[in-house]
Amino acid sequence: MIERGQQPAAGGRAARVGHFAPAIHCVSLRGFTLLEMLLTLALIALLAGALIGGSSALLAEKPPSADDVFWSTVRTARKTALNAEQDLNLRYDEKTKAFQLTPPDGNIQSFPIPVVGTGNDLIVEFLAAQKTGGSILLGGTVVETEPLSGGVTFYADGTCSPFRLQIRVNSGAHIISIDPWTCSPVLTPPKSTP
């Protein structure tokens, strides 16, 4: 036997023993493991969540509507009246396009409505809880013509004076009915079809 690094004794080829073994290249034909597939799916879900979260943040950055500002003002008025145990007055200022909350001490809180466009197309009016009188057809929309003067009151017990709110933007108008006991919207039952 020839040891590594030795020459053969007589006229043979010079070769090393370690180099006689043929090079075998094993090609492994295996599939993906369950763990690899789960990790891939988790990574895809993570990326999808980040993309969806980012796109919803872009959509959420639109300015709040008059309805959004009104409900925010109502929540603040009710909470403030309950905490301070005092009645508060809520009215709408046409000049500043803002809801104004006035406690008895006279420290007015203002809740402006962001005006998109010309700025002269927004009209907000407080109406009596029950339809009391006149309405007209204005631009194809029925609009009530008898607003309350002086605004509405939020009481220290968490209730408010009965009222409705009419919001007119451009040529459209809608009325929000308020439940005086909970200061939340009055839900109307769905219309049934025969």
Residue 144's domain comprises: 66-185
Which of 38-42, 113-117, 163-167 is predicted least confidently? Answer: 113-117
**pLDDT tens string 139-169:** 455 555 566 677 888 998 988 888 888 887 7
- Which DSSP state fits 116? -
Q: How many domains does the chain have?
A: 2
Give CA–CA dist 148/89, Å, rounded: 13
Q: Are residues 76 and 155 in the same domain?
A: yes
> Could you give the angle at the alpha carbon of 118 between the alpha carbons of 113 and 121, nearest 5°?
65
- Which DSSP state fits 170? T
Q: What is the pLDDT of residue 137?
A: 47
Q: Are residues 49 and 88 in the same domain?
A: no
User: Residue 141's CB: how many other CB atoms inside 10 A?
Assistant: 13
Q: Are residues 79 and 111 in the same domain?
A: yes
Q: Are residues 57 and 70 in the same domain?
A: no
Q: Are residues 170 and 99 in the same domain?
A: yes
Q: Are residues 102 and 157 in the same domain?
A: yes
pLDDT band at 60 (very low <50, low <70, confident <90, very high): low
Flag whether pLDDT at 57 surpasses 80: no
Q: What is the pLDDT of residue 138?
A: 46
Give CA–CA dist 101/153, Å, rounded: 9
Q: Are residues 49 and 82 in the same domain?
A: no
Q: What is the pLDDT of residue 13?
A: 55
Q: Are residues 144 and 55 in the same domain?
A: no
| Highest mean pLDDT (candidates 45-54, 69-78, 104-113, 129-138) | 69-78
pTM value is 0.57
